[in-house]
Structure 1
Amino acid sequence: MNWKFILTYKPFLIILFLINLFGTIYGYYWYKYQLEITPPIFIPFVPDSPTASLFFTIFLLFFMFGKHVPYIEALAITSLIKYGIWAVVMNILTLIITGSLNWQGYMLIASHGAMAIQGVLYAPYYQIQLKHLAVAAIVLLHNEIIDYVYGMMPIYPVINDYMKEIGYFTFWLSIFTILFTYHITIKKKQNNSIHK
C-alpha cells in the first residue's frame, strides 16, 4: 500500500480535514464546563487537545492548496504528539486506579492516540526549521507552567492525588516531544540532503 499516495490524496485530505474540524469543535465543547470556571486570562491555555487539532486542521487546509505555514506545522506536530500521548496515559492511569473506564474514556484513548499518529505521519511534509520548533517548544513549556503552577490542567478528579507526579511526567513528555519532533523533521531532512 502506497501510504505517501494516500496521505496526499485530495479526497482523503478532505475527509481528514473534516474529521479534525468536527473533532476540534467537539473538543472545545467538551471543555465547556471547565472553561466556565476558568479565569479569562487562562482560557487560551486550557483546551489543549482541541487547540492541537485546530493547528493540524489549519495545516491540512493550507496543505490541500499546496501552501505551508511552518509555525502552525511546528505547533501542530508538537501539540498533537504531546497531548495525544498525555490523554492516552491519563485515561490508562484512571483505568488502573479505578479498575474501570467509561466509553468516553476509551473514546478519548482512541481519538488522542490517532491525534499523535497523524501528527507523525505527516512529518515528511512539514517545512519546519529550528526557529519554528523553538517557538513551538516555548509554547509547550509555557503551557506546562500555566497547567501545573496555576492549576489549569484538564480536570480529572480521579487522578488529582497524583498531580505532582503527573506534572513531572508531563514536563519530560514535552522534552521528549521537542527532541522527537526535531529528529523526524529537521534532522531527518538534513540527513537526507547530505546523502543525496
Structure 2
Amino acid sequence: MSLSFFWSREFLTNRYFLWLLFWCNAVGTVYGYIWYGDQLERTLAEQPLWQIVFVPDSPTASLFFTLALLWVLYKPKSVVLNRIGHVIQALAVVTSVKYGVWAVSIIFAGWMQGGSPHWQDWMLIASHSAMAIEALIYVRFFGFRWVALLIASLWTLLNDTMDYTYDIFPWLPGSLYEHLDGVRNFTFGLTLVSILCAWLALRQAKRT
C-alpha cells in the first residue's frame, strides 16, 4: 500500500474513518470548552451576557469542524440544510486554520518572552496543529462556495473585533500582556491569511 492511499478520497471519506475523526473532534471540543471554564465564568460575572459567544474561540472552531463532518457523512436533500452546512463548513476551515495556527504561535511567543514550557503546552501544540491541518485536508470534500466563505470571513473578523474591543480574547501567557497591541495585530492579520488559505484551497478543490 502506497502512502498516497492515505491522501486519497477513498481513505479520507471512508465512513469508519470519518466517524473516528468526528468523535476525536467532538471529545476535543468538549475538553476545549472545559478548558475555557474559568474565563467563561468570569465573563458571565463581569461582562454582558451576549459577549459569551465570542469567548471560546478554539473549541468553537473545533465544533464547526465536527459539525461539518456530518454534512460529509450525511448529504441532505434539503436546499436550506445544504446552505446551512456550507456556511458551517466554511466556518470550520477559516476558524480551524486561524485558531490552530494562532494558539501554536502564542505558545511559542510566550516561551520566547521567558515563559516556561509545560506538558499542557505540547498537548495544545499537537491538537491545534491538527486542527489547521485537517481543515485544509478536508476542504476539498466540503461543498461551500464564495458566499459561505464571505459569511465565515465576516464572522471571524467580528469575533476578533469583539475580543479586542471588550477584552474577551483568550487568556495569554503572562509575558505577552505587555505586547497586547502586537498580539491584536497578529490576530487580525492571521484571520486575513486564514481567509486567503481557505480561498486558495477552495480554488484548488474546484480544479480536482
Q: TM-score range by the shorter chain?
A: over 0.9
State the one-letter code of the partner of 1:104: Q
Give 1:66 deviation, angstroms. Answer: 3.4
Q: Report the Cα offset of residue 123 of structure 1.
A: 1.3
| Identity across matched positions, percent | 39
- Residue type of the partner of 1:28? Y
More displaced 10-residue stretch of structure 1: 96-105 or 15-24: 96-105
Name the counterpart of 1:103: 119
Local SS of the residue matching 2:113: helix
Query: How many Å apart are 1:148 and its aligned residue?
Result: 1.1
Structure 1 SS opposite 2:117? coil
TM-score, normalising length: structure 2: 0.88
Q: Does 1:28 align with 2:45?
A: no
Structure 2 distance, partners of 1:6, 1:49, is 27
3-state SS of the aligned residue for 2:168? Answer: coil
Which residue number in structure 2 is paired with residue 174 of structure 1?
Answer: 191
Cα drift, residue 99 of structure 1: 4.9
Q: Is the 8 A contact 2:64 2:88 kept in 1?
A: yes
Q: 1:114 corresponds to which letter in structure 2?
A: A
**Structure 1 segments (4+ residues) deviating >3 Å:** none
What is the CA distance between 1:189 and its match in structure 2? 4.3
| Aligned match for 1:13, one of 13, 18, 29 | 18
Unmatched runs of 5 consecutive residues or more in structure 1 = none
Correspondence for 1:184: 201
What does the per-residue CA deviation read over 1:25-82, in whole Å, with 9 as the maximum and x for residues that have no partner?
Answer: 0000000000011122211001000000101111112211234510000000000000
CA-based RMSD of the aligned residues comes to 1.4
Within the candidate set 112, 116, 126, 2:142 is matched to 126
What letter corresponds to residue 93 of structure 2 in structure 1?
Answer: I
Structure 2: any 5+ residue segments left out of the alignment? Answer: 77-81
Aligned residues: 191
What are the residue-to-residue correspondences of 1:33-112 with 2, within 5 Å? 33-38=38-43, 39=47, 40-67=49-76, 69-112=85-128
Indicate the residue corresponding to 2:79 in structure 1: none
The letter for the 2-side match of 1:103 is W
Residue 127 of structure 1: SS of its match in structure 2? coil
Q: What amino acid sits opposite 2:33 in the alignment?
A: Y
The answer to whether the Cα contact below 8 Å between 2:139 and 2:205 also exists between their aligned partners in 1 is no
